[in-house]
Amino acid sequence: MLTNIRSDRVRSVRSLSRRSVRERTGRFVVDGPQGVREAIRYAAERVDDLYVTSVALERHDVIVQSALEAGVRVHETDDAVLEAMSDTESPQGLLAVVETRTSTLDEVLASSPRLVVLLTSVRDPGNAGTVVRGADAFGADAVLLTDGSVDVHSPKVVRSTAGSLFHLPVVTGLDVDVTLDALAAHGIRTFAADGVGETLLPDVDVSGPHAWVLGNEAWGLPAEVRGRCSDVVRVPISERVESLNLAMAATICLATSAGATRRS
Amino acid sequence: MLTNIRSDRVRSVRSLSRRSVRERTGRFVVDGPQGVREAIRYAAERVDDLYVTSVALERHDVIVQSALEAGVRVHETDDAVLEAMSDTESPQGLLAVVETRTSTLDEVLASSPRLVVLLTSVRDPGNAGTVVRGADAFGADAVLLTDGSVDVHSPKVVRSTAGSLFHLPVVTGLDVDVTLDALAAHGIRTFAADGVGETLLPDVDVSGPHAWVLGNEAWGLPAEVRGRCSDVVRVPISERVESLNLAMAATICLATSAGATRRS
């Protein structure tokens, strides 16, 4: 059982809360049973180590068993070690160190995607994570993020995705112009979701391959990006409301694409 | 200009971050330009005092002017005083103390509502605030909260509503059984939104008056509450995803009710 909170191992796991360390080591932390379970189900070959407290070992024995069967190194720790490793205030007793793997835009395009999300300059971890979760829930084929977006492997984003990070390809560090060109070249229509849009969501034809393009929480999409999209689409809302938040808007657009809201 | 961060006034505003103080005094704090602007637009008679830093006084002169015209007492403060009054780490220079006013269930029902949201045991401030914002955006007539839900006047909820708290009636402290009975007696259908629902959202008839009933983030709606609703409705999602989060589910249901997603 690991009990020394000042060990090199604990320090090294804890340091993965820093983006620079994640980028240097190509590793990130997944905290809590839901994320760990999905990491083992969908990406066991990338899970280096699983740390589990005695209580979690009993409560989540199915997860731990599947980790062992997948050849993951499992370490029992006391509560203090798990707390020291985690960046949350109340970790849930299970924490995995996972190898980062992102896809490339070419890989995504080669798979003939029908539904894609492109996040440009999205900075809030909760928003980014919720969009990844929503993209997964509504069957999107990939989430693309431009350079200047939040790091999808930061602990807060990983938690907000609730395991969805392991379900669909995520591409990071993209140039927005190059990406819009590539989507267009592959016959994927690009719908900028923005409160200034003239086209209302119910009027959009979501039957063909398309991408939802979302901008920063505060300033939305720059005019030049909107201008390069196939259409600029607005979710119709009450005029006394200034805007929807980013995650809400993305969720509604994705649910509409999936036909989850109303039969056409 | 107010400059003494240890004054009784500062202490008294700051103490409104505690629920017990809010309940005793019937006051709460609205922080930031968006919330303050909506408070003055829609509920100026309930705004006791507005505190503004010198920078905000220039930047938000339209808001301050409208406050003065509405007879609100405006106080200039230095940054330290505003920070001491606020419970956020980076307040935006404007803070109002507002009188709490909630509606009653009878008032809401007397207005013949077409679309209502009932939150039962919702605990997360961000979720509750986002649902209020979504309810407002999609034209709901009221938000109802049962006893045991988060306090809608807590600073985090108020911020998450982005001013929507002042746009529509909010009723708090309700008993869930009494409320479901009252809704039914007024011909308002009740749709429990829950992942266990047999009815899919696209199949629900949202043309008549109805209420979306949402449960706690972690455990959803108790079976006895679901059993008392007209229908239990599920947003169709990919089977590899365990659930949508509460705010996402609520947003999608409300957008569907409003016809914001697809023409029927």
pLDDT of B123 over the 60 cut: yes
Residue A263: what pLDDT?
Answer: 61
Let me know whether A50 and A140 are in one domain. Answer: no
The whole-angstrom distance between B243's CA and the closest CA on chain A is: 8
Residue B262: what pLDDT?
Answer: 77
User: The domain that contains A210 carries what CATH number?
Assistant: 3.40.1280.10
Q: Tell me the three state secondary structure of residue B12.
A: helix
C-alpha to C-alpha distance for A224 and A226, rounded to whole angstroms: 5
CB contact under 8 A, A252 and B263: no
Residue A89: what pLDDT?
Answer: 83
Residue B90: what pLDDT?
Answer: 83
- Closest Cα in chain A to B237: A137
User: Is position A123 within any domain?
Assistant: yes
**What does the pLDDT average to over B149-176?**
96
The whole-angstrom distance between B54's CA and the closest CA on chain A is: 23
Whole-number average pLDDT of chain B: 96
The whole-angstrom distance between B25's CA and the closest CA on chain A is: 29
Would an 8 Å CB–CB cutoff place B133 in contact with chain A? yes
Residue A9: what pLDDT?
Answer: 97
User: Is position A161 within any domain?
Assistant: yes
Residue A117: what pLDDT?
Answer: 98
Residue B53 DSSP one-character state: E
**What does the pLDDT average to over B74-96?**
94
CB contact under 8 A, B261 and A255: yes
Count of the separate structural domains present in chain A: 2
Instruction: Record the tokens describing residue B133, joined without a space.
Output: 């914002």
Let me know whether B129 and B216 are in one domain. Answer: yes
Give chain A positions within 8 Å (CB) of B134: 244, 248
Give chain A positions within 8 Å (CB) of B237: 137-138, 260
**Contacts (Cβ under 8 Å, ≥6 apart) of A261:** A252, A255, B201, B202, B252, B255, B256, B261, B262
Task: With cut-offs at 50, 70 and 90, classify the pLDDT of residue A90.
Answer: confident
Least confident of A26-30, B164-168, B197-201, B242-246: B242-246
pLDDT digits (tens, 9 = 90+) for A150-185: 999 999 999 999 999 999 999 999 999 999 999 999
pLDDT of A22 over the 80 cut: yes
Inter-chain contacts counted by CB atoms under 8 A, chains A and B: 118
- Closest Cα in chain A to B141: A238
CB contact under 8 A, A241 and B133: yes
> Which of A130, A202, A259 faces B245 most closely, judged by CB atoms?
A130
User: The domain that contains B12 carries what CATH number?
Assistant: 3.30.1330.30
User: Is position A148 within any domain?
Assistant: yes
Q: What percent of chain A has pLDDT over 90?
A: 95
pLDDT digits (tens, 9 = 90+) for B18-49: 999 999 999 999 999 999 999 999 999 999 99
Let me know whether B120 and B159 are in one domain. Answer: yes
Domain boundary among A99, A118, A151: A99
- Closest Cα in chain B to A206: B262
Give chain B positions within 8 Å (CB) of A134: 244, 248
pLDDT of B194 over the 60 cut: yes
Let me know whether A178 and A222 are in one domain. Answer: yes
Let me know whether B139 and B121 are in one domain. Answer: yes
CB contact under 8 A, A237 and B167: no
Residues 31-90 of B with CB under 8 A from A: 34
User: Is position A2 within any domain?
Assistant: no
Q: What percent of chain B has pLDDT over 70?
A: 99
User: Is position A3 within any domain?
Assistant: no
Let me know whether B30 and B137 are in one domain. Answer: no
The whole-angstrom distance between A3's CA and the closest CA on chain B is: 31
Residue B263: what pLDDT?
Answer: 61
Q: What percent of chain B has pLDDT over 90?
A: 94
* 3-state helix/strand/coil string of chain A: CECCCCCHHHHHHHHHHCHHHHHHHCEEEEECHHHHHHHHHHHHHHEEEEEEEHHHHHHCHHHHHHHHHCCCEEEEECHHHHHHHCCCCCCCCEEEEEECCCCCHHHHHHCCCCEEEEECCCCCHHHHHHHHHHHHHCCCCEEEEECCCCCCCCHHHHHHHCCHHHCCCEEEEECHHHHHHHHHHCCCEEEEECCCCCEEHHHCCCCCCEEEEECECCCECCHHHHHHCCEEEECCCCCCCCCCCHHHHHHHHHHHHCCCCCCC
**Contacts (Cβ under 8 Å, ≥6 apart) of A262:** B201, B202, B256, B259, B261, B262, B264
Domain boundary among A45, A79, A99: A99
User: Is position B252 within any domain?
Assistant: yes
CB contact under 8 A, B139 and A264: no
- Closest Cα in chain B to A38: B240
Give chain B positions within 8 Å (CB) of A133: 241, 244-245, 248
Burial of B16 (0-12, 13-18, 19+ CB in 10 A): buried
Let me know whether B81 and B55 are in one domain. Answer: yes
**What does the pLDDT average to over A65-79?**
97
Domain limits for position A36: 8-99
Let me know whether B171 and B76 are in one domain. Answer: no
Let me know whether B22 and B123 are in one domain. Answer: no
Let me know whether A253 and A193 are in one domain. Answer: yes
CB contact under 8 A, A256 and B261: yes
Residues 194-213 of A with CB under 8 A from B: 201-203
